[in-house]
Structure 1
Amino acid sequence: MADNELEFVDEEDTALATEDTAAFSEAVLYSSDWTVETVISQMTNSNIEMNPRFQRRDAWSPGGKSRFIESIILGFPIPQIVLAEKKGKKGQFIVLDGKQRLLSLLQFTGRAEGARNGFRLSGLEVRADLNRKSYTAIKDDPNRRDDINAFLNNTIRTVVIRNWPSTNFLHIVFLRLNTGSVKLSPQELRQAMVPGPFSEFIDDTALASAHTQRLLGRTSPDPRMRDVELLVRFLGFRNFLPTYGGRMKEFLDGVCQELTDTWANSQPRVQGDLNEFNSAVDALIEIFGADEIARKPGSKSFNRAIFDALAFYAADHEIRNSMTAHSGPIKDLYAELMRDDRFSKAIESDTAGIPHTFDRLSLWGLGLRRVLGIGFNVPMLIEREDGSAGIGFDGFR
């Protein structure tokens, strides 16, 4: 399977919490037209965060970057970028939308890192005379002064968000501003909002992970950080399931913050858990085949809600060994649950909610217990002190 072919099934998890709604009026959104030269200056001065880690997840092809630069030189309107001011750091921003456009500007002008820094334009049709030209070659050519001026002086509409109450609020604002565009990856935002040693570790792990690449049908790291999110989800359900409140984004934000705050003590455990993740993926590939894991029959769409349940149990050594020894019955169980109305609802709608999250974990776990004939604990539905529903779990044994 070629990179980027894999489809994903996402949770509908974008509603504003009550506290977000109350704080909506306190947030400030404004827009202005920044010249390309100003935008580049903001990035090179580190006011707009474009760290090297993001540059290693470059998603645009050289041709796409070149056509973008050509559009600027031609004076075409450029899609807006959306920034959020960092908490407590006036005049410093994270990027909500427009990272690939901003990275193209850095690379074209030779201010980035990596193999594509200082790239030459290619595949241009309107300005074919600029093919094979670098920024430096155009800038140093007296006959190209108009082109450089057109490039640096073209404007980009820039939306800035200040005094935002939560990361979920930023997701909602992004969707309202960009109803026709691809949603910002929750993990991309999470990496920027919860920086620190865990964020760097989990990014490095995903970048080097042959297991996530094989699982997702890729030969390179995922440009939207969905490989990172798979690892964070796994760590969250494995270690913090009783704290899950039914909102995936908030849960994973909390997981990242907790592991960042306790990293000195948590690192050995996290490394061990990720070793078990790799073993779980190996076992699931052995049982189902790499292209069939967490898919409904006849579908190419990778369903993260299904994978959460599969990996939750396969990461346990005893359960995993028994699963691989009974691969035929395991595949029969999977097919059986795909025909079960309760399980189907739990993987298709409100997948982030407590009831359906519990149903997925419980039904698959009870099925495994029956088919494998071994004893282990399965998550339970509980009532919390405040009367809300929760998921109780204290380990398999």
Structure 2
Amino acid sequence: MLKDQLEAIQQKAKERTVKTQSVEYDLETLVKKIKREVIRLNPDYQRNHRWPDSFSSKLIESLILNIPIPIIYISMDVDVDDEAEDELARYSVIDGQQRLTAIYNFFSGAYALQSLEVLSELNGSYYKDLPPFLIRRLEERTIRCLRIDSTVDTQVKFDIFERLNSGSVKLEAQELRNATCRGPFKDLIKELAKNPVFAEVANLDPESTRIKKMEDEELVLRFFAISHNDGYLDYKGQFKKFLTRKMVEFNKFDDVILKEMRESFVRTMSLVKKHFGSKPFAKYKKPDGEDFTLMSSFNAAVFDAIAYAFSRPNIKNIPDHKNFIKLFADPVFFESVEGSVNDVSKLNNRINKVQEVIR
């Protein structure tokens, strides 16, 4: 009964209560803080800034007209009273990344205003072209920010980020991790995501939306979360949280372990390509009485099982890809890469099935 759980509820509520402080910054101050990276707009976020200039222009118009805009949520990563090696990255943006990027880019002269309806006379104008009174109005316009305390742990911060992810273009889970899970493993993910062999076998077109949504980086994280020290055995459900937890864990590793992980990833992807070709993670089906047909050129669940098997030390039994494809006729394996693929039993089934033929 609920009353029997009151103590546990009280304890959880106490632990999860987030300390916040409301502050207001004028745009001139915000832009300066972003430029100095006191407020961190992730450097990699530029490639993922998905607002078109017309959206950004409408925001600038709203700011000029003093139309209220949603509150910005920022996370305090280094307390203002703490000494640090430098003043960089004391805050990261939890919600409002697109808005702040649009403001910063306009102040930096990155785009001209367009598609404005109320202030249509400003269409085609860059920041430097605005009359002085409008520049003053923009610089002095304030935005309310809610600052989240530095003591909040990474998983809670990720949960906050996910709940507050209210932009017109929703951020993907890896974009949220990119903003909340800092450390040397995060840098390794970015490096390995650009590995040409991995890009080929994972069917990653440099201009695809998969790259823009950081799917490439999430696949690298997914590989390590499942394969490093048989991490898939730790998985009990809630795959997004599992990946976030593993990323936090891996960020604590030293250079020696990270070097071993780098070598394991590169070796695995090269071995996969050597034996299974350029589309090793494709998904197939076999209708009754018919030959195997290609369903998709890349499937993340297939990637899990094959990459795990090839990452094992001293594997000796590797069938050619044409023979491996026969595994898709096994109803247990096919079901494990179909539908809700992040179910615990499905993850275990596909890894076990592939290991029966690659060992």
Q: TM-score, normalised by structure 2?
A: 0.73
What is residue 286 of structure 1 aligned with on the other side?
Answer: 279
Return 5+ residue gaps in structure 1 as ranges: 1-16, 111-116, 139-143, 377-397
Deviation sequence 1:365-396 (CA, Å, 0-9, x none): 36xx2xx4x6x3xxxxxxxxxxxxxxxxxxxx
Match of 2:133 among 146, 151, 154: 146
1:203-258, Cα deviation, whole Å (9 max, x unpaired): 13325657448635652573342321210110222213247253543554444543
- The alpha-carbon distance between structure 1 residues 245 and 268, as it changes in their structure 2 partners (threshold 3 A), is closer
Give secondary structure in 1 for the equivalent of 2:62. Answer: helix
Equivalent pair of 2:197/2:273 in contact (CA under 8 Å): no
The whole-number CA distance in structure 1 between the counterparts of 2:193 and 2:261 is: 17
Aligned residue number for residue 23 of structure 1 = 15
Task: Tell whether the 8 Å contact from 1:120 to 1:133 is kept in structure 2 after alignment.
Answer: yes
Aligned CA distance change for structure 1 residues 256 and 106 (closer, same or farther; 3 Å): same
Q: For residues 41 and 236 of structure 1, what CA distance do their matches in structure 2 show?
A: 38
Number of paired residues?
A: 330
Are residue 104 (structure 1) and residue 95 (structure 2) matched? Answer: no
Shift of 1:330: 3.7
TM-score normalised according to structure 1 size: 0.67
Partner of 1:174: 161
CA distance in 2, matches of 1:80, 1:302: 39
Task: Name 1:114's counterpart in structure 2.
Answer: none
Classify the secondary structure of the residue corresponding to 2:193: helix
CA-atom RMSD, angstroms?
Answer: 4.0
* 1:29–1:228 distance in 2 versus 1, CA, 3 Å: same
Kept after mapping to 1: 8 A contact 2:116/2:122: yes
Q: CA deviation at 1:151?
A: 2.4
% identical equivalent positions: 24
Q: Which residue of 2 aligns with 1:215?
A: 203
Counterpart amino acid of residue 244 in structure 1 = D
How far, CA to CA, are the matches of 1:64 and 1:298 in structure 2? Answer: 39
Aligned position for 1:155? 142
**Contact persistence 1:198–1:263 (CA under 8 A):** no
Gaps of 5+ in 2: 1-8, 83-89, 286-292
Q: Which residue of 2 aligns with 1:358?
A: 348
Q: 1:74 aligns with which of 65, 70, 94?
A: 65
Match of 1:41 among 29, 32, 43: 32
Query: How far apart are the structure 2 equivalents of 1:56 and 1:96?
Result: 18
Aligned to 2:87: none
Deviations 1:305-356 (A, max 9, x none): 55323432355695895151415414434xx34764xx378x517x365x45
Q: How has the CA–CA distance of structure 1 residues 285 and 24 changed in structure 2, closer, same or farther, with 3 Å as cutoff?
A: same
Following superposition, the deviation at residue 148 of structure 1 comes to 1.9
Query: How far apart, in 2, do the equivalents of 1:250 and 1:229 lie?
Result: 12
- Cα distance, 1:321–1:219 mapped onto 2, change above 3 Å: farther
Question: How far 1:95 moved relative to its partner?
Answer: 1.1
Residues 251 and 175 (structure 1), Cα distance of their counterparts in 2 relative to 1, 3 Å cut: closer
Counterpart contact for 1:72–1:151, Cα < 8 Å = yes
Q: Distance in 2 between matches of 1:273 and 1:44?
A: 35
Go from structure 1 to structure 2 and tell me whether the alpha carbon gap of 1:339 and 1:35 turns closer, same or farther (over 3 Å shift): same
Question: How do 1:154-303 residues align onto structure 2 when only pairs under 5 Å count?
Answer: 154-178=141-165, 184-207=171-194, 209=196, 211-212=198-199, 215-216=203-204, 219=207, 222-242=211-231, 244-246=234-236, 248=239, 249-250=241-242, 252-255=244-247, 257-258=249-250, 260-277=252-269, 279-280=271-272, 283=276, 286=279, 289=282
